Amino acid sequence: MANEVTVADLVKNVRLNVLQGEDYLDRPVTTSDISRPGLELTGYFKYYPAPRIQLLGITETSFAKNMTHDELLMVMRKMCAPETPTFVVSTNLPVPDELKQAADENKIPILGTKLTSSRILSNMTFYLSGKLAQRQSVHGVLVDINGVGVLITGDSGVGKSETALELVRRGHRLVADDRVEVYAQDEQTLVGSAPAILQHLMEIRGIGIIDVMTLYGAGAVMQEDDVDLIVHLETWAPDVQFDRLGDRGDTQTILDVVVPKVSIPVKTGRNLAIIIESAAMNYRAQTMGYDATETFDNNLNNLIQENSKKD
């Protein structure tokens, strides 16, 4: 599942100016790839990526100036394919009259920006990659704990939402409750957000639906966050072995992104909010190069060596 994006969405979120074709901004954008039509200006259309946004910069417009009116109009008409969403002209460059005519004939909008081609290409790619990425729904709660995105998972009724509410009360921020929509921003980054219908809302058994932003303020919620760590809540059982030293290195793969994972036993009397908060801080320490397990191992080895010398 992926979001639908129109040229109007692109204009709003990437801050582009509509130079022509305001009535055609409902055209869909179906790919995050951006085309720089260089070969096309020479008349080579065998592999023309028509569904892409066509970006014209200094190089393309300079080349176009050396073409005759009829040559350029013919090329621009070929570039204005039915599936082409829009043309973007960078660096506040003037739009060739031939492009204006061909785009108007095919009801394709033309957008402009003062940014350079490299900068606007990067901005559009970043926005479209996130919006058009394949999404997966994960059952759990996503909370930002001091900058660490923690996805709390576990069986229904294990206490995920109640624990997340306690974390919010401790000053952390809710991203999504019950259902988290995740997508891979790149090969190493997983991003989660709440479905539109569930934004800022939590379900607490015995109370019902609560609006976290209304009760705790705008600072208690986030629109989206990276999924840095997965904390899985498991009902405690005496015959189940849990990681006591934190050296097992468990992970979970979602949308081909590998995320570190820890499992926490749920038992009466345990303060899960503090434990999860500590897990997030421990994860941050590890990313900064400090590993408490390694420190313990070193201390233990040193103690063994000292005792061996005494013997």
Integer Cα distance of 185 and 49 in angstroms: 23
129 in a labelled binding site: no
Indicate which residue of 12, 15, 69, 139 is catalytic: 139
Residue 190 φ then ψ, to 5°: -110, 130
Residue 164, SS3? Answer: helix
Catalytic (active site) residue 250: no
Catalytic (active site) residue 100: no
Indicate which residue of 46, 65, 205, 244 is catalytic: 244
Whether the CB-CB separation of 122 and 201 falls below 8 Å is answered with: no
**CB 158: neighbour CB atoms within 10 A?**
17
309 in a labelled binding site: no
Name the strand (E) or helix (H) holding 125.
helix 117-132
137 in a labelled binding site: no
140 in a labelled binding site: no
List, in sequence order, every residue forming a beta bridge with 240; answer none if it has no partner.
none
Q: Number of C-alpha atoms within 13 angstroms, CB side, residue 200?
A: 11
Residue 206 carries which side chain, given as an amino acid letter? G
Q: How is the beta sheet containing 173-176 ordered, strand by strand? A: 173-176, 141-145, 148-154, 229-235, 257-266, 251-254
Place of tokens 């206490």: 159
Integer Cα distance of 205 and 7 in angstroms: 42
Residue 79 φ then ψ, to 5°: -70, -25
267 in a labelled binding site: no
Catalytic (active site) residue 248: no
149 in a labelled binding site: no
Indicate which residue of 33, 104, 178, 291 is catalytic: 178
Residue 131 carries which side chain, given as an amino acid letter? K
155 in a labelled binding site: yes
154: left (phi over 0), alpha (psi -120 to 50) or beta: left
Integer Cα distance of 263 and 188 in angstroms: 21
Catalytic (active site) residue 244: yes
Helix and strand element counts for the chain (H, E): 9, 19
Binding residues for ATP: 154-161
Binding residues for Mg(2+): 161, 203
Q: Would you name the residues annotated as active-site residues?
A: 139, 160, 178, 244
Binding residues: 154-161, 203
